[in-house]
Structures are given as C-alpha cells and as structure tokens.
Structure 1
Amino acid sequence: MTTFAFKNNENSDRLDKIILKFHPEYTRAQIQKWIKANQVCVNQQIINKTGYRISTNDLIEVTVTKREPLHATAQKLPLNIIYEDADVLVVNKPQGMVVHPSAGHPDGTLVNAILYHTQIQSKDAIRPGIVHRIDKDTSGLLMVAKSELAQESLSAQIKAKTNLRDYLAIVHNPFEEKEGTIEAPIGRDPNERKRQAVIATGKSAITHFQVQENFTKFALVKCRLETGRTHQIRVHLQYIGHPVAGDPLYGPRHTLSGAGQFLHAQTLGFRHPRTGQWLEFHVDPPQIFQTTLNNLRTNEKGNL
C-alpha cells in the first residue's frame, strides 16, 4: 500500500475531479473506486462519496494498492515482418493491436510478439526496442531497435526529424486546397484526459498533408509527420475540420463502418544505424481500408 497527499489549491469542486486534476495519471473510474472503498480522507476524515465538495486548502490523502511493475514477456502471436537484420526490425502492425504493454493491456501486444520472435538489447522492461509508436487502431509500419546502437540512432533520427513517416487517412469532408501544413501545439485536453487537443500550452506539432482524392463527403489524404505527438494526425485533422473517419475519440458519431479510425502508416524511411544506408519501406492499407476506399470511388461513379 502507498499513500499520496496534497492540499487543494483549486476552487471548490467534486472530490473525484480534484484528485484527477492533481493526478491525471489515474482514471476517474479508478479514483471513484478508491473513494467508495474508504481509501480517501479529507482533513483526516474518510470520505466515501465521489461528489463530496472539496474546498480550497482541504488536505486530501489517498491510499492505493501499489501495482506490481509491468514486464513484457514473450508470446507467440502473429507478426508481419517487412525487414530484419541484427540491428533493426520493421513490422506491419495490424489494426487493433496495442504496441506495448500497459495496465489496461498487460499482454497480447506487439512487444510481446516481438520478444517471442527475437532477442532485443534494451534496458526498458516494458518497451524494449520501441522508439516510436502508432495507436492501437492505426495500422502500418513500425521500426524496432534490436541493439543499443540502433536504439540510440533511431531515437536520434526521430528527434532530428530526419526519418520519414507517411500516413494515409480517409477523412470527413472534401478539401478545397490540394496540400498544406498544420502547425498547432498539442497537449492533453483539459476537459477530457483520454484526449489530446490543440492548446496554447501544448508541445510544438507539425503535420504536412497532400490530398489524394476528394469525394462528396469524404477525402483520401496523405500526411507526413514532422513531429510525433500523441494522436497528432488525428488531432490536427480534426482541428482543420477533417476528422479521420471511424475515429471514436475525435470523429463524428455518424461515420464509415470499420474497426476504428481509417488511418494507416504507409511509408517508413530511416538511415540504417550501422551502415548509414537509407532504407525505405511501403505497405498497402489493410483490406477494410481498401474496400471502403473502393466503395467510395464506386459510389462517386454512380452519382455522375
């Protein structure tokens, strides 16, 4: 068991909301469980009502069960390998697979599959070899470092913005322009901890886009990442009025049927950590993406 305590310097608000403001690393659902289980005290008195109003300068103490540290273990799972040598592994991640273990996804991840397939030199027990990630419901290319040399080199290339990451997306609403650049800072949405948002206090984020095809209500667009913020493409496209189709967080409720957002990491390029040779890989979107795109094209022809 462990206890953390803090004094509320915010205005009066619900107990669960105040704890969430000070400790956004926890979910509101988890905080409410602690309150109902008599694990939260206000001014040394147990409070078990989530809606209890907290005043400024109230002392809040939360006692929680300490989680065991996560460790990624090897699991025999399907793995679509595009390229591999002693330093680098490039895989085509399927839609629906999480990249690395977390409290909500302790196994069945891409990392579990990679560890079964190969040995990785890494000090990170939970994200061995992972130098960048793509969302669970985004498909496509991911580079993995198998050696410490590769870990340092690939991470440095991402930081220096010298690698190549192109995505395809089916989005709502046709474009008037053919291409453009979205430069807008991204940070955690102050009103919803699971979302990111364009906010003034966010980190610099830059996405370049080229429109591939326009349809009556949708468009196919290619996006190139210059930075790599959490949910960057999804947030930026929603910000300019073109949310990714099928996106449960940033898109409209009425959208294209699928298994999540229609976003695919199509092209990946980087310099090999040992040889310096430029490597570039390209994979087509999954079948559901291609079928949906073909249906949009067919419907457009029928309307001519």
Structure 2
Amino acid sequence: MDKRLYSIDETLKGVRIDKALSTLNEEWSRTQVQQWIKDDHVLVNGLAIKTNYKSIPGDTIEVTIPELEELDAVAEEMDLDIYYEDADVLVVNKPSGMVVHPAPGHISGTLVNGLMAHCKDLSGINGVMRPGIVHRIDKDTSGLLMVAKNDMAHEKLVQQLVDKTVTRKYQAIVHGVIPHDFGTIDAPIGRDKKDRQSMTVTDSNSKSAVTHFRVIERFNAFTLVECQLETGRTHQIRVHMKYIGFPLAGDPKYGPKKTLKLDGQALHAGLLGFIHPRTNEYIEFEAPIPEEFEQLIEQLRRSKD
C-alpha cells in the first residue's frame, strides 16, 4: 500500500479534510478522498476522522492509498453509437435492451464492457464495476448518457446533476389520453415496502422527485409525451406517470398487462445537455427515436384514422 504524509498550514485552517486533501493533491477528487475517509484510510494525528472534520494548522495527515481492485468485467469490442467524445467526456446513445453497468451474474454485454474497449481511461469514482458512469438509464430505455473519462469531469458532471442544471428530456408513450397539454409531477419516490425491487410514491424513506411533461401527440388510447427530469430518481418517469394514472406502454413493472407489443417500456432519452467540465461551455445533443419506437407511433396514428 502507498502511504502519503501531509501537514496542514494556516492556509487550510478550518477547511474540511476532504477538500483540504484534494487541494494538497490535485490528482485526488473529493469523492475519492471521502471514500478513503469512510474506509479509515485517512488518519489525522494517528486517529480516524469523519469527512466533516475541519483542518487545524499543525495536523499531520496520513493517507493510505488502497490498491486498485481488479475489475471483474472485461473489455468487449462493440459498435457503440458515440455522439461526442474528447479527453474528458463521452456521450453515447444506448440501445434499448442493453444494461449500463455490470452486476453480479451479469458481467458481460453491458455498456461498460463496450466503453472499456473503446476508452483507455474512465473515471474510477463510481467503483470498479461502474467506471465512468455518471448517471444511468434502465436496460429497456434507449437514449443518451454522459460518461466521465477522468475524476475531475466526473465530479463536475455529478455536481451539475445535484444542482439540477443538466437538461434531460425523454419521449414516452403512455396509456390513456392526457387531457391537459402540460403538467408537473412533484411527488417523492422511495422503495416500495411491498416489493423491494420496485419504487413508488411514498412519504417514508423517500427523496424529492420532480418531472415536467408536455403532450406531443394524442392517439385513441395512448399519448406521446415529452418528460423533462428535474431530479433523477430510480424509475422516476415510470413511477410518476403511473402515479398520475398514465403508465408507460410496455412497462413490465409499472404498466398494465394488456399493452402494446414491446420489449420493455416505450421510453427514449432523446435530449441531453450539460456544461462541459473543462471549457464551461453548454453543449447539447439530441438522438432520434429508435426505429421500433417510430414504427409504434406510426401504428398508433393509423389506428386513429
């Protein structure tokens, strides 16, 4: 194990220990340092501390850098649909049916496997099974994802998600004909106590969740909508649309059994915009609806005539 020693001077007086360390060593991200602190890899004057510890001049900090864990997943050559790439960020259009990152029992064929073959470097902040992954979309949801190629980019992109400055717009087909043209769903989402694999609108152990939507087109018994995320909770659009009585077509978890013939929910992450972590310029990308999704819309239009 690699051990490093640092001393706190007056310039870092009162600064949180994670920020102080990332200042003393610019190669370390605060998120990375916070994890080391939680794992007791950081000692101040020989004692373990918490991430909110405020530095005192004269403190001696010992950092034990853990050895990198071997990644169980392997690089796999894939024909990835890359929309943008530079030294810091990559934007990829994920097809429906592809899992974003490996998990126990499912360590191949994921987006991460493909990214590992495509990129030499990816951010390590989210751990060895999720290199570069800043946010995710469900397996059966298609669309755009931003990927961090280094820890600096990762931290800044995550902060934008926290600050709600990332633009994320989805197209979805829902059951029912929504009567109003616009709406906002502000309802907290948490784990469903009756089914731990599902999320639900609940007041217990929930987090705030806000989804804005607008109607794009109405059909006989379905509606094409655009949903814009203000927050990014697990299954947020799927849970929120079910909550207001218009569940997604094809959704095996939250939708009705009698639905359109689809392999999963009719949901596409079509627009993604964010501030570039290095240039500080806003960049935006748009991916068209997949062919299967477009064919479904045409089918609904014909049935309407």
- TM-score normalised by length of structure 2: 0.75
Render the CA deviation track for 1:234-253: whole Å, top value 9, x for unaligned: 00000000000000000000
**Structure 1 match to 2:292:** 288
User: 1:179 & 1:72 partners in 2: Cα distance?
Assistant: 43
Task: Indicate conservation of the 8 Å contact 1:70/1:106, yes or no.
Answer: no
Residue 102, structure 1, aligned to residue 103, structure 2: yes
User: For 1:267, what is the secondary structure of its paired residue?
Assistant: strand
Task: Indicate conservation of the 8 Å contact 1:70/1:102, yes or no.
Answer: no
**Structure 2 match to 1:184:** 187
Q: Post-superposition shift, 1:121?
A: 3.9
User: 2:139 & 2:71 partners in 1: Cα distance?
Assistant: 19
Render the CA deviation track for 1:168-214: whole Å, top value 9, x for unaligned: 00000011111110011101111011110001121100000001111
Q: Post-superposition shift, 1:254?
A: 0.5
User: 2:291 & 2:263 partners in 1: Cα distance?
Assistant: 11
Structure 1's unaligned 5+ residue stretches are 1-67
Render the CA deviation track for 1:50-85: whole Å, top value 9, x for unaligned: xxxxxxxxxxxxxxxxxx986332111221101101
Q: Post-superposition shift, 1:216?
A: 1.3
Residue 86, structure 1, aligned to residue 87, structure 2: yes
Residue 151, structure 1, aligned to residue 148, structure 2: no
**Structure 2 match to 1:244:** 248
Runs of 4+ in 1 over 3 A off after TM superposition: none
Task: Indicate conservation of the 8 Å contact 1:100/1:127, yes or no.
Answer: yes
Choose 77-86 or 167-176, whichever is displaced more. Answer: 77-86
Q: Post-superposition shift, 1:146?
A: 0.5
**Structure 2 match to 1:163:** 166
User: 1:73 & 1:85 partners in 2: Cα distance?
Assistant: 23
Choose 100-109 or 136-145, whichever is displaced more. Answer: 100-109
Q: Post-superposition shift, 1:128?
A: 0.6
Q: Post-superposition shift, 1:285?
A: 1.3
Q: CA RMSD in A?
A: 1.3
> How many residue pairs are counted as aligned between the two chains?
234
Task: Indicate conservation of the 8 Å contact 2:91/2:144, yes or no.
Answer: yes
Task: Indicate conservation of the 8 Å contact 1:167/1:264, yes or no.
Answer: yes
User: 2:103 & 2:122 partners in 1: Cα distance?
Assistant: 20
**Structure 1 match to 2:32:** none
Q: Post-superposition shift, 1:265?
A: 0.1
Task: Indicate conservation of the 8 Å contact 1:81/1:90, yes or no.
Answer: yes
**Structure 2 match to 1:268:** 272
Task: Indicate conservation of the 8 Å contact 2:184/2:210, yes or no.
Answer: yes
Render the CA deviation track for 1:113-158: whole Å, top value 9, x for unaligned: 0010012243321111101000000000000000111101101100
User: 1:127 & 1:253 partners in 2: Cα distance?
Assistant: 33
Task: Indicate conservation of the 8 Å contact 1:72/1:127, yes or no.
Answer: no
User: 1:278 & 1:165 partners in 2: Cα distance?
Assistant: 13
Residue 229, structure 1, aligned to residue 233, structure 2: yes
User: For 2:261, what is the secondary structure of its paired residue?
Assistant: coil
Task: Indicate conservation of the 8 Å contact 2:70/2:128, yes or no.
Answer: no
Which amino acid is 1:97 matched to?
M
**Structure 1 match to 2:141:** 138
Which amino acid is 1:85 matched to?
D
**Structure 1 match to 2:129:** 126
User: 1:249 & 1:185 partners in 2: Cα distance?
Assistant: 19
Q: Post-superposition shift, 1:225?
A: 0.3
Which amino acid is 2:96 matched to?
Q
- TM-score normalised by length of structure 1: 0.75
User: For 1:195, what is the secondary structure of its paired residue?
Assistant: strand
User: Percent same amino acid among aligned pairs?
Assistant: 56
User: 1:167 & 1:204 partners in 2: Cα distance?
Assistant: 19
Task: Indicate conservation of the 8 Å contact 1:234/1:243, yes or no.
Answer: yes
Shift in alpha-carbon separation, 1:300–1:121, aligned structure 2, 3 A: closer
User: 1:212 & 1:187 partners in 2: Cα distance?
Assistant: 29
